Amino acid sequence: MYCLIAAESAIFSIFVVAYLFYTGKSLTGPQPRDVLRVPVFFTICLLSSSLTIHFAVKSLERGKARAFALWWLLTIVLGSLFLAGTAQEWHHLIYEEGLTIQTNLFGTTYYSLVGLHAFHVTVGLLALASVSAFAVLGHVKKEHAGRVEVLSMYWHFVDAVWVVVFIVVYLIGR
Amino acid sequence: MSAGPIVLRETGTVRAPLVETLHQWVTTVDHKRLGILYIVYALIFLILGGIEATIMRIQLIRPLNDFVSPQVFNRMFTMHGTTMIFFVAMPLVFGFGNYLVPLMIGARDMAFPRLNAFSFWMTAFGGLLLYFSFIGGDGLYGAGNAPDVGWFAYAPLTSQTFSPGHSTDFWTLALLVSGFGSIGTAINLATTIVCMRCPGMTLGKMPLLAWMNLVMSGLVILAVSPLSAAQIMLMVDRYLGGHFFDTQAGGSAVLWMHFFWVFGHPEVYVLVIPAFAFASEIIPVFSRKAIFGYPVMVAATVGIGFISMSVWAHHMFAVGMTSNSNTFFVLSTMAIAVPTGIKIFNWLGTMWGGKILFKVPMLFCIAFLFQFLIAGLTGIMQGAAPFDWQLTASYFVVAHFHYVIVGGILFTIFAAFYYWFPKASGRMYSESLGRLHFWLFVIGFHLTFDFMHVPGVLGMPRRIYTYEPGRGWDIWNVIITIGAFFQAAGILVFLYNLLWSYFHGEIAGSDPWDAWTLEWTTTSPPPGYNFATVPEVQSRRPLWDLKHPEDPDWKYE
Amino acid sequence: MKASGRTTSRALFAYLGAAVAAFAQPASGAWSPTNIFAPDSTPADTIFGLSIFVLAVTGAIFAVVFTLLAYAIVKFRKRAGDDDREPAQIYGSTQVELAWTVIPVLIVVVLFLATARVIASVQNAARPRGAIEVTVIGHQFWWEYRYPDLKVVTANELHIPVSDSVHPAPTFLTLLSADTDHSFWVPRLAGKTDLIPNHPNSMWVDPHETGLFLGQCSQYCGVQHALMLLRVYVQPRDEFDRWIKQQSQPAPVSETASAGQRIFEATACVSCHTVAGTAAKGRFGPDLTHLMSRDTIASGALRNTADNLRRWIRNPAAIKPGCLMPAMGLSDPDLDAITAYMETLR
């Protein structure tokens, strides 16, 4: 998983570099400070989901399968809230501000970077959901704590990437 | 006193029906079989890439030739480069790594056997997708649509404006898919090496081949990803109307170059570091001496890995970067020459005072040493940026990188083939056919690539389907083309040798070379589980210790 | 750029320079008119000096290592009468390994410093007064030249004045591109510099001798990259001034060829080509105002004769398959008329 995270970090870095490089270089169209609203609530959701997944893993290590299932489910809920927030933000940007991936350099780099992240969140949620399904059926036990921890590393990575994207897009880029 | 090679009793096998054999091969997760699949796959694409090269060389044998149209020629150089790098060299390197690493570290398989199979089939599919382009899709420039944008596919030539139709998409998607396969293999190799060494084999005691595959895997993980990212961006530009490399919208063509070469330069180290690995295993055995300076070899390899991530823009000296940027990349490029040169000295030190046996693997390794020396020196010449302002994008650089990839990497891969063929097949290859291959190929290689430096210096750019007479390039192109045919002959002899020896070679036994690493302790070919009992080692050369109990390595390490 | 310091190394470089000069030759081009070792302009000279130094150093390294390798292979081979004893196993030697690390590091430092100096001297050269300014715009697959101060627009054949130390007259080229990446490489005048859209570059040359200098596009730009040739005419100052004067005139108006002119203007030719002083103001293709003043057409691919011109207009793709000028499907009489019109554009 560490190796996979390294590879994914390299991919995200390239998108971040492109985003930073093109900051301020759009020739036309909406600029970041005109249209971006800082997604504080949804960021808190995603970052707290790191906390909840941590508690989930710890519970499973102590053999508390029910607590694990509940913390795990909460993680999924928080992650889904984050995705809903992204969807809401994009709806606003596309239909009310007229910013699409084709509009200008900002649009291209913004949707690509945030979209790549959202894609990784989605994949993560699917994986978490399948574990949830197993947990509900009672198949997840203490001896699976190691595997679940590996998956939680992926989730922490996705959150860490969001911290970077947040800083680059909503703080620096504006 | 030498106790001689280890001899194990062979077990008999019964032939299964063909369908069942095919099914086993297609569904295998055994690292040895996947290794062989990678290698056979690569050999097929070597022939395809070689045909593309031959077509180009015939077209260029005289000025204003019309053997093929410019459209076809441009597809040839694009496909030749893409094929050779992604579907010949990388599969060969991964194939050998897959086969050898678990055996050499005393493991029973790789860490993630199913991921291993998945990675192979992704790579295989990528190659098929690329070649499907010859018949698939549609476009502006006539029938058949292999990509014609060059293997580094510079923007904005790859935008929809200048490359309508789907040929560029075949390039992008084929490499994206096989890139994921490469990353999967790298993750597998790294995890295997870090987690699955046999008892007693600390990192400092594992064979250099394992170390080098570890560094290579790290490079793949960090370097192939940027290419994947850039290709996703290219697809966004081409199909979603994005502007990453759209210069009309303020985008930057140079950004593509940076992203591509951030991948492209470490990529060549991904290819050459395993070549170093083969040389580091083979030269000691045929010099009858331990490798000289193991710790420094490891340090140099790790150093090369790190520095290689910082030299990429030496491919861009003529692009118009600031003098400060150019100067920085001159420094990093020249710096990487130091650990690389050190290795040549270490191999020299290994041979020094030894008893050199000129078997076919060693012949190829010796040629490698001379050729890699020259390749490195022409690299330094181009590292001097102003000199590169003349040499880049000319036939000089084409000569340089073929010197590295063919003269360096392919030669050690041939050496590796001959060295480990007995292990994998259980039979010895024909020594005389091997020598014939060697001499044909060496003559052809030097005819082509030594003289190729000359047109570069005389002003011949690369990627041109024809050239004007009166530039002084004519005779050199003739010599270069003749060399290509010698090389083709050599390859044919090689393939024939492999096939013939597989069926008729004499039985090899488990340790035909009287070597010292763990793979020679098991049968030839090894059983599915590799080792009946997991080995335990005390030094870098466990078999040396067994054969020389009075003078084992662990006393000196 | 001269090597700093020791006289022995100067002697060595002189020797090597002579060896490489055997490779070089005067402008008449015994070996090649595009030989990088036959420089004729300060940037190319500077690069040449550095290249000699680098070749000397790498040559010395090659000689030493080659000798050691060859010696090892011969001396330490297993001989027929040898017993089976293994040789002494030597695992390393700190002194030796230190030596062969330190020496390469020193060599690298020296090479780096030499290179850094040359980079600065070429890239950061100051613009003297009276430099000729030319804007080069790369197209698929031809070269556009604009002299903004001198109000001249032409294509494919670049004229610049010769420069000597008494009256320096360097030419500064600003490099732009209208479509894909290209590269301007005239080896005897300078190293190559790319033309990249949305990324202006600049380079300079100051040729010491008059004559014709050849080169070609050196960054793959599409199907006809191979025949995007460069021709640089270095002229004495007075000839150059006359050429400029002639090029700044509009096209001569001629009664007899107006039939061809009418066809030219009625067919789509004017959407791509400019003929100054007429209705033709297209910018996609080369400026044709003084087409007959050029030795070649089709960016160097064909000699500028009436026959070639007619062949080219009739079907450009027959000569340069994949080029962007379409065949307009003209009838023979129309072709004759247009060619005759072109012939008046001196």
Backbone φ and ψ of C152, nearest 5°? -120, 140
Tokens of B417: 């083939």
CA torsion, ordered A119, A124, A126, A127, to nearest 10 deg: 150
Residues in chain A with CB shorter than 8 Å from the CB of B251 are 22, 105
Nearest CA in chain A to B182: A7
* Each residue's pLDDT tens digit, B116-132: 999 999 999 999 999 99
- Are residues C242 and C301 both part of a single domain? no
More confidently predicted of C166 and A37: A37
More confidently predicted of C24 and C266: C266
Residues in chain B with CB shorter than 8 Å from the CB of A26 are 250
Q: Over 90: is that where the pLDDT of B144 sits?
A: no
CB atoms C100 and B390 under 8 Å? no
Task: Check residue B140 and give its pLDDT.
Answer: 46
Task: Check residue B535 and give its pLDDT.
Answer: 93
The whole-angstrom separation of Cα C21 and Cα C31 is: 11
Closest CA to B459 of B471, B470, B449, B451: B471
- Are residues C232 and C140 both part of a single domain? yes
The whole-angstrom separation of Cα C59 and Cα C72 is: 20
Q: Over 70: is that where the pLDDT of B235 sits?
A: yes
Q: How many CB atoms lie within 10 A of CB C248?
A: 15
Q: Please, which residues have CB within 8 angstroms of residue C85's CB and are 6 or more apart in sequence?
A: B1, B2
Task: Check residue A143 and give its pLDDT.
Answer: 87
Name the residue facing C84 among B2, B70, B556 (closest C-beta): B2
Task: Check residue B2 and give its pLDDT.
Answer: 52
Helix, strand or coil for residue B410? helix
Q: Over 80: is that where the pLDDT of B446 sits?
A: yes
Instruction: Tally the domains of chain A.
Output: 1
CB atoms B156 and C218 under 8 Å? no
Nearest CA in chain A to B233: A112
CA torsion, ordered A115, A121, A122, A123, to nearest 10 deg: 110
Helix C94-123 and helix B360-383, axial crossing angle in degrees, nearest 10:
40
The whole-angstrom separation of Cα B183 and Cα B165 is: 29
CB atoms B335 and C62 under 8 Å? no
- Answer whether residue C330 is part of any domain: yes
Mean pLDDT, residues B454-472 taken together: 95
Q: How confident is the model at residue C27 (pLDDT cuts 50, 70, 90)?
A: very low
Residue that the structure tokens 């400092």 belong to: B204
Entry pTM: 0.92
- Answer whether residue C60 is part of any domain: yes
CB atoms C115 and B386 under 8 Å? yes
The whole-angstrom separation of Cα C193 and Cα C177 is: 12
Mean pLDDT, residues A142-162 taken together: 94
Q: Over 60: is that where the pLDDT of C21 sits?
A: no
Mean pLDDT, residues B294-318 taken together: 96
Percent helix / strand / coil, chain A, rounded to 5:
80, 0, 20
CA torsion, ordered C46, C48, C53, C57, to nearest 10 deg: 140
Tokens of C160: 């610049």
In whole angstroms, how far apart are CA C46 and each of A90, B123, C1, C170?
Answer: 56, 47, 5, 15
Q: Please, which residues have CB within 8 angstroms of residue B13's CB and are 6 or more apart in sequence?
A: none
Is residue B290 less than 8 Å (CB to CB) from chain C?
yes
CATH of residue A57's domain is 1.20.120.80
Cα atoms found within 13 Å of the Cα of residue C170, Cβ hemisphere only = 20
CA angle A44, A49, A52 (to 5 degrees): 130
Name the residue facing C223 among B141, B254, B468 (closest C-beta): B141
Residues in chain B with CB shorter than 8 Å from the CB of A21 are 252, 255
Tokens of B481: 């083309």
> ipTM exceeding 0.90?
yes
Helix, strand or coil for residue C175? strand
Task: Check residue C5 and give its pLDDT.
Answer: 43
Encode A55-109 in three state secondary structure.
HHHHHHHCCCHHHHHHHHHHHHHHHHHHHHHHHHHHHHHHHHCCCCCCCCHHHHH
In whole angstroms, how far apart are CA B452 and each of B401, B456, C85?
Answer: 11, 7, 45
- Answer whether residue A146 is part of any domain: yes
CA dihedral sign, ordered B217, B218, B224, B228: positive
Give yes or no for a contact between C226 and B70, defined as CB atoms under 8 angstroms apart. Answer: yes
Mean pLDDT, residues B267-296 taken together: 96
Q: Please, which residues have CB within 8 angstroms of residue C175's CB and are 6 or more apart in sequence?
A: B320, C136, C138, C184, C193, C194, C195, C200, C201, C202, C203
* Each residue's pLDDT tens digit, B402-411: 999 999 999 9
CB atoms C214 and B254 under 8 Å? no
**CATH architecture of the domain formed by B33-555:** Up-down Bundle (1.20)
Report DSSP state, residue B551. Answer: S
For C171, the enclosing helix (H) or strand (E) is strand C171-177
Is residue B251 less than 8 Å (CB to CB) from chain C?
yes
Give yes or no for a contact between B482 and B449, defined as CB atoms under 8 angstroms apart. Answer: no
The whole-angstrom separation of Cα B158 and Cα B145 is: 14
Nearest CA in chain C to B393: C218
Residues in chain B with CB shorter than 8 Å from the CB of A22 are 250-252
CB atoms B226 and A104 under 8 Å? no
Cα atoms found within 13 Å of the Cα of residue A155, Cβ hemisphere only = 29
C160, β-bridge pairs? C234
- Are residues C280 and C204 both part of a single domain? no
Give yes or no for a contact between C183 and C217, defined as CB atoms under 8 angstroms apart. Answer: yes
Nearest CA in chain B to C48: B387
- Answer whether residue C142 is part of any domain: yes
- Answer whether residue C83 is part of any domain: no
CB atoms A7 and B233 under 8 Å? no
- Are residues C117 and C143 both part of a single domain? no
Nearest CA in chain A to B256: A18
The whole-angstrom separation of Cα C92 and Cα B292 is: 5
Closest CA to B317 of B231, B241, B390, B398: B390
Query: In chain C, what percentage of residues exceed pLDDT 90?
Result: 73
- Are residues C333 and C292 both part of a single domain? yes
Domain holding A67, by residue range, is 2-22+53-172
CA dihedral sign, ordered B84, B87, B93, B95: negative
Give yes or no for a contact between B535 and B542, defined as CB atoms under 8 angstroms apart. Answer: yes
CB atoms B221 and A27 under 8 Å? no
Backbone φ and ψ of C205, nearest 5°? -140, 155
The whole-angstrom separation of Cα B36 and Cα B44 is: 12
- Compute chain A's Rg from CA coordinates: 18
* Each residue's pLDDT tens digit, B11-44: 666 777 899 999 999 999 999 999 999 999 999 9
State the amino acid at position B155 in one-letter form.
Answer: A
* Each residue's pLDDT tens digit, A21-58: 999 899 888 999 889 999 999 999 999 999 999 999 99
Task: Check residue A56 and give its pLDDT.
Answer: 94
Q: How far is CA C253 from the centre of its chain?
A: 36
Give yes or no for a contact between B518 and B107, defined as CB atoms under 8 angstroms apart. Answer: no
Nearest CA in chain C to B376: C58
More confidently predicted of C5 and B353: B353
Closest CA to B147 of B125, B177, B168, B131: B168
The whole-angstrom separation of Cα C221 and Cα B150 is: 10
Question: Which ranges of C124-236 does DSSP label H, i.e. alpha helix?
Answer: none
Helix, strand or coil for residue C231? strand
Mean pLDDT, residues B70-93 taken together: 96
Instruction: Tally the domains of chain C.
Output: 3
- Answer whether residue A156 is part of any domain: yes
Is residue B387 less than 8 Å (CB to CB) from chain C?
yes
* A to B CB pairs, distance under 8 Å: 81
State the amino acid at position B414 in one-letter form.
Answer: F
Q: Over 70: is that where the pLDDT of B417 sits?
A: yes
CATH of residue C167's domain is 2.60.40.420
Q: How far is CA C328 from the centre of its chain?
A: 32
Tokens of A52: 């909840």
- Answer whether residue C253 is part of any domain: no
Domain holding C263, by residue range, is 258-342
Least confident interval from A157-171, B160-174, B318-332: B160-174
Residues in chain C with CB shorter than 8 Å from the CB of B327 are 115-116, 119-120
CB atoms B255 and A18 under 8 Å? yes
Q: How confident is the model at residue C16 (pLDDT cuts 50, 70, 90)?
A: low
- Are residues C143 and C160 both part of a single domain? yes
Could you tell me whether strands C182-184 and C193-195 are parallel, antiparallel, or unpaired per DSSP bridges? antiparallel
The whole-angstrom separation of Cα C212 and Cα C210 is: 7
Residue that the structure tokens 């079907």 belong to: C315
Helix B411-425 and helix B253-287, axial crossing angle in degrees, nearest 10:
60
Task: Check residue C25 and give its pLDDT.
Answer: 47
Helix, strand or coil for residue B285? helix
Tokens of B475: 């005779």
Mean pLDDT, residues C129-153 taken together: 93
The whole-angstrom separation of Cα B415 and Cα B200 is: 29
